[in-house]
Amino acid sequence: MKKIIFIDWYETYSFSKIWGHLETENPSLYHQMQHLIFNNSALVNDWMRGNTRFCNICHYLEENGINRLTTQTEFMRGLSLIQPASPLFLPILMSLKSKGYQLYIATDNFDIFGAYMYPYAHLEQVFNGYISSAEEGVLKEDLGADGKPVFFKNFLIKNKLTYKDCILIDNDPSITALYKSCGMATFTPQTPSETVSALHLILKNQL
């Protein structure tokens, strides 16, 4: 039986966005933030690799006309709205834990994930922990000098595991293909119902 289940965060476990509530409450501000941050791939990748921090993002937005207090206040509001993509996730995940699996979020994300999102959403009540690109300094797609991915390297070494001990559930087919080639069992759900099906399959077959 596999020992570890890694679950991707955005568009796999949750569809909650940073400042996502502004999309309906204040569309102008929302689209301004989206344009300034998420249309800038270099900035996003730097932030996800831990080379830029939330305080730098607040400063950058302020330089472009968005008050720092507004950025921070709306971010904190958004934390209270974080939800899993399906209410069916929790009971299945708890059943998997009872069978001996350890559950981890594995996410290309920002410094705010570990500092705010994980604790504010009480994810420690469900998961054993998380791996975030901002803390590892690499994205899931990043390869080392040997041509092999490095995202899970520290975790595997620390816990004396191999890829074959793990399962990855991630909506990005390029990521699941990469780690499948390393020996990890993978699922690539495109909808919450497909994620539920993957979790049920693992539970039923105790992969």
pLDDT at 134: 98
CB 129 within 8 A of CB 104: yes
Residues in contact with 72: Cβ distance below 8 Å, sequence separation at least 6, in sequence order: 58
Q: What's the CA gap between 189 and 176, in Å, rounded?
A: 10
pLDDT at 193: 98
Q: Give the total residue count for the chain.
A: 207
CB 207 within 8 A of CB 184: no
What is the pTM (predicted TM-score) of this model? 0.95
Q: Is the pLDDT of residue 29 over 90?
A: yes
pLDDT at 123: 96
Placement of tokens 């994620």 in the chain: 195
Per-residue pLDDT reduced to its tens digit, 99-140? 999 999 999 999 999 999 999 999 999 999 999 999 999 999
pLDDT at 16: 94
Placement of tokens 């791996």 in the chain: 131
Per-residue pLDDT reduced to its tens digit, 144-199? 999 999 999 999 999 999 999 999 999 999 999 999 999 999 999 999 999 999 99
Residues in contact with 26: Cβ distance below 8 Å, sequence separation at least 6, in sequence order: none
How much is the average pLDDT of 56-75? 96
Q: Is the pLDDT of residue 1 over 80?
A: no
Q: Is the pLDDT of residue 205 over 90?
A: no
Q: What's the CA gap between 106 and 9, in Å, rounded?
A: 7
Cβ neighbours, 10 Å, residue 183: 11
pLDDT at 206: 72
Task: Kindly state the tokens that stand for 120.
Answer: 């504010």
Per-residue pLDDT reduced to its tens digit, 74-93? 999 999 999 999 999 999 99
Q: How confident is the model at residue 38 (pLDDT cuts 50, 70, 90)?
A: very high
pLDDT at 207: 72
Q: Kindly calculate the radius of gyration of the chain based on its CA atoms and give it in whole angstroms.
A: 18
pLDDT at 2: 80
Angle between helices 68-79 and 54-63 (to 10 degrees): 130
Residues in contact with 117: Cβ distance below 8 Å, sequence separation at least 6, in sequence order: 79, 82, 109, 123
Q: Which amino acid is it at 19? A: W
